[in-house]
């Protein structure tokens, strides 16, 4: 995996795109900080789904998977009377 600065990538885009077509991955940096990853479409199609990614990260100890089920749909509460925004404006006067 090679690193390339934004300015260098911009000035020689075709050269770097050819490298990615051959299977190389490029990390794009801005002031030394990685901001993007460029890879060929063929390799991008082989990326595992989100659940597989999280499972891999959990196996490495980098994340902790949730132990509870997600919340069910929350029912909306109906509020009667004047809108709260108007009450706040009146209080400020």
Any idea what the CATH number is for the domain that residue 33 is in?
3.40.1620.10
Asked, for residue 73, whether it belongs to a domain, the answer is no
| pLDDT greater than 70 at residue 47 | no
Asked, for residue 91, whether it belongs to a domain, the answer is no
53 Cβ contact partners less than 8 Å away, ≥ 6 residues apart: none
CA dist., res. 51 & res. 57, Å (int): 10
Domain residues for the domain of 50 are 2-59
Give the total number of structural domains in the chain.
1
The residues with which 27 forms a beta bridge, in sequence order, are 3, 37
pLDDT, tens digit, 9 for 90 and up, residues 68-91:
887 778 888 887 888 888 888 988
Q: What is the pLDDT of residue 80?
A: 83
* 11 pLDDT tier (thresholds 50, 70, 90): very high
Asked, for residue 33, whether it belongs to a domain, the answer is yes
Q: What is the pLDDT of residue 45?
A: 59
């Amino acid at each position: 995996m090679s690193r390339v600065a934004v300015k260098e990538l911009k000035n020689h885009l075709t050269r770097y795109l050819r490298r990615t077509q051959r299977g190389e991955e490029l990390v794009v940096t801005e002031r030394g900080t990685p901001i993007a990853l460029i890879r060929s479409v063929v390799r991008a199609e082989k990326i595992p789904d989100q659940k597989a990614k999280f499972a891999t990260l959990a196996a490495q100890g980098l994340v902790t998977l949730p132990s509870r089920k997600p919340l069910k749909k929350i029912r909306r509460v109906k509020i009667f009377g004047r809108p709260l925004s108007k009450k706040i404006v009146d209080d400020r006067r």
